[in-house]
Amino acid sequence: MVHPGMVERGSAHVREKRRRRRAEILHGALRAFREKGFHATTLDDIALHVGVRKTALYHYFPDKQSILHECHREASAELARIVRGARTFPSAREQLRYVVREHVRVMTETLEGSPLAFEVTAFSPERQRELMAARDTYERAVRRIIARGIRRGEFKRIDPKVAVFIVLGAINWIARWYRPEGALHAAELGKQYADHLVGGLERR
Amino acid sequence: MVHPGMVERGSAHVREKRRRRRAEILHGALRAFREKGFHATTLDDIALHVGVRKTALYHYFPDKQSILHECHREASAELARIVRGARTFPSAREQLRYVVREHVRVMTETLEGSPLAFEVTAFSPERQRELMAARDTYERAVRRIIARGIRRGEFKRIDPKVAVFIVLGAINWIARWYRPEGALHAAELGKQYADHLVGGLERR
């Protein structure tokens, strides 16, 4: 006789296994996209990177676009968490340093340098709207931190909108050159980005 | 009877007219690429933006790829001139400020916010190599300015290679949001980019 508790533990185990396999698929896909670009990547390439057969992918995602979409959603959710986490720092300077460091970590570790930000046009108009809404929310949050820093006299009197483009442009560009197997460590990189991009806003 | 001098003036006039028409085609093409992306743009779109018939384009360029290639070459030549021009400034700080301001001007005025830096894969391997060699030469020149600034004690002791990625990433990203008809002026923009990106390297 199967004890109900065993079933519970069994399903939790299965759920955990599925969750891990799902994460492996997303990571394998990101590596494949980085190597060949989204358009040239096939489901076979992704299966090869994950180390499973292509049919196994279909248990998790119906197609390549859905995989890219899920990568985007996870990255967006992580950026939203970062913005919330930044609120615990008292100064705008420390808030922005935290956001820059963590965003660099998302680019290098979560996304492994995959050029997600360059692939928005691969989606249906509906999904594009969803992703752009998430991006706009994030940009507004970063802009508010910068505007607050200007009001508090921490930052120079610049156009916060342009400052956001400078900061996020520099970070998004990481996808153009970063290789996970390279010599640069994510934490070091995050610190240099924060020193450069937040330092450039501070009043002397 | 036609005087030889008149023929000379005539050819100079014709050459000047051809030069101007050629520049008009490149500008019309950049506007078309910005609106629809390089891949979706047709020669008809470009002709419409220039205000000529498609057949008139063939007197100047055999195809769309050649037009994009020429835009890249002109932008590369302009960046090379900027790097030479920077040498007249005594400090690394002023050299880098000049390069950033002028590069922002190339992005906004010469290229009108067209995403050239994103379209390298549209070319044959040979042309890709040529463009990437020009880009590498430019990146090395900017890196040398930053390394000199560190040696002279003007800049913080950072990794010059990463600093170049930060500076050029922020500038290249302009193609992602800039609209020539918008409210931001190129000169103002160049100053904010120089303040932010060079300021972030300076020692306090």
pLDDT, averaged per 10 consecutive residues of chain A (204 residues), comes to: 50 88 90 84 92 90 89 90 97 98 91 70 84 92 98 97 97 88 85 98 92
In the prediction, which pLDDT does A179 show?
A: 83
Q: Which of A134, A88, A82, A127 is nearest to A107 (CA)?
A: A82
Interface contact flag, A173 B168, Cβ < 8 Å: yes
- Report the range out of A64-73, B123-132, B194-203 with the highest average pLDDT: B194-203
Give me chain B's average pLDDT, please: 88
Q: Which two tokens stand for residue B63?
A: 């195809």
Instruction: Answer whether residue B4 shows pLDDT above 70.
Output: no
Interface contact flag, A200 B204, Cβ < 8 Å: no
pTM (two decimals): 0.86
Closest-CA residue of chain B to A201 = B196
CA B12 – CA B8 distance, rounded (Å): 6
Interface contact flag, B121 A37, Cβ < 8 Å: yes
Percent of chain B residues topping a pLDDT of 70: 93
Q: Which two tokens stand for residue A137?
A: 């929310």
In the prediction, which pLDDT does B74 show?
A: 87
Contacts of A196 in chain B (CB under 8 A): 158, 163, 166, 197, 200-201
| Locus of tokens 């390069």 | B99
CATH (one of 3.40.50.880, 1.10.10.60, 1.25.40.10, 2.40.50.140) for B1-61: 1.10.10.60
Q: What would the mean pLDDT of B40-68 be, rounded to a whole number?
A: 91
CA B92 – CA B154 distance, rounded (Å): 7
In the prediction, which pLDDT does A180 show?
A: 79
Interface contact flag, B169 A170, Cβ < 8 Å: yes
Instruction: Answer whether residue B117 shows pLDDT above 70.
Output: no
Q: Which two tokens stand for residue B31?
A: 């506007």
In the prediction, which pLDDT does B35 show?
A: 84
CATH (one of 3.40.50.300, 1.10.357.10, 1.10.1660.10, 3.40.50.10880) for B63-204: 1.10.357.10
Tell me the β-bridge partners of A202: A155
Query: Any idea which of A100-109, B67-76, B175-184 has the lowest mean pLDDT?
Result: B175-184
Instruction: Answer whether residue B8 shows pLDDT above 60.
Output: no
Closest-CA residue of chain B to A37 = B121
Query: Any idea which of A93-102, B102-111, B138-147 has the lowest mean pLDDT?
Result: B102-111
List every span in chain A annotated with CATH 1.10.10.60.
1-61
Percent of chain B residues topping a pLDDT of 90: 52
CA B114 – CA A114 distance, rounded (Å): 23
Of chain B residues 30-49, which have a CB less than 8 A from chain A? 37
List every span in chain A annotated with CATH 1.10.357.10.
63-204
Interface contact flag, B196 A159, Cβ < 8 Å: no
CA A178 – CA A27 distance, rounded (Å): 16
Q: Does B89 touch chain A (CB under 8 A)?
A: no
In the prediction, which pLDDT does B38 show?
A: 83
